[in-house]
Structure 1
């Protein structure tokens, strides 16, 4: 069965893989005349609530995510695509990308980069793309 996508979610973390996923998602959104949601999830540091430094680090992480999202929205608009919405979230990327946003936004397709930022993060957190592939109800596209 051929799918006609109406709502596409692409996750970003500022990495080169995420940029490739964004480019592919935007091309698909243009082809299908779909709405494109771009999300960046910030994982709050464990010590955020326990120290002033933790709060500063979290604020910096959120500001970096917002700047990255603004850059992607600007890129889309420069390419003539305006049906885009940026979402900055805090929490578990796995749950937000695979369950929360797809349910809230009626997502048809989730687009992810094959890998995230660092190998160390994957050791501690596991692969977000692997988790999303196993748990999301929407179709998944992994971009290498």
Structure 2
């Protein structure tokens, strides 16, 4: 009994772990002849630290995210995938990815990197990957790098 995935989402945050998740996501999408959706959520909670938030900060974050996702999309197409899209969203990644983006796009597999948060950060913020696992409507594959295993 084989399980095939039709729409695979990879959460991209610019980290080494997300890069590993992207590479594995491309391979899984190729094996399943699946669509690949790359997502990046700009965490607006960090904007609260900026006393006088103006649109320049958000615009710059969106431009950087667009450049990053365009690069990943190009790599996926060069690797042989045919249906690659991306979406940039704003808010809390741990809420937007499983509760909104996955549901809105009818995703059947989410790949994300294991977070590099320390114990204190996890206590206060919670791990994004933990929230994705808990609230996702579909399968989730958390990718660990070699350093996470050691």
**How high is the TM-score relative to the length of structure 2?**
0.84
| Equivalent residue number for residue 48 of structure 2 | 46
Q: Distance in 2 between matches of 1:2 and 1:125?
A: 37
Moved >6 Å (runs of 4+): none
Partner of 1:29: 29
- Provide the secondary structure at the position in 2 that maps to 1:46: helix
| Aligned pairs for 1:51-130 within 5 A | 51=52, 54-115=54-115, 119=118, 122=122, 124-130=124-130
- What corresponds to 2:135 in structure 1? 135
Matched residues in 1 for 2:124 and 2:76: separation?
33
Residue 15 of structure 2: aligned partner: 15
Q: Is residue 6 of structure 1 aligned with residue 6 of structure 2?
A: yes
Please state how far the C-alpha of 1:124 moved relative to its aligned partner: 4.7
TM (norm. structure 1) is 0.88
1:20 Cα deviation (Å)? 0.1
Q: Deviations over 1:36-68 (max 9, x none)?
A: 1000000121266x62x5422222111111111
Does the Cα contact within 8 Å between 2:9 and 2:107 map onto a contact in 1?
A: yes
Q: Report the CA distance between 1:139 and its aligned residue.
A: 0.4
Residue 92 of structure 1, CA deviation: 1.5
Aligned-pair Cα RMSD in Å: 2.0
Shift of 1:121: 6.2
SS of 1:72 mapped into structure 2: helix
Structure 2 CA distance, aligned partners of 1:105 and 1:88? 13
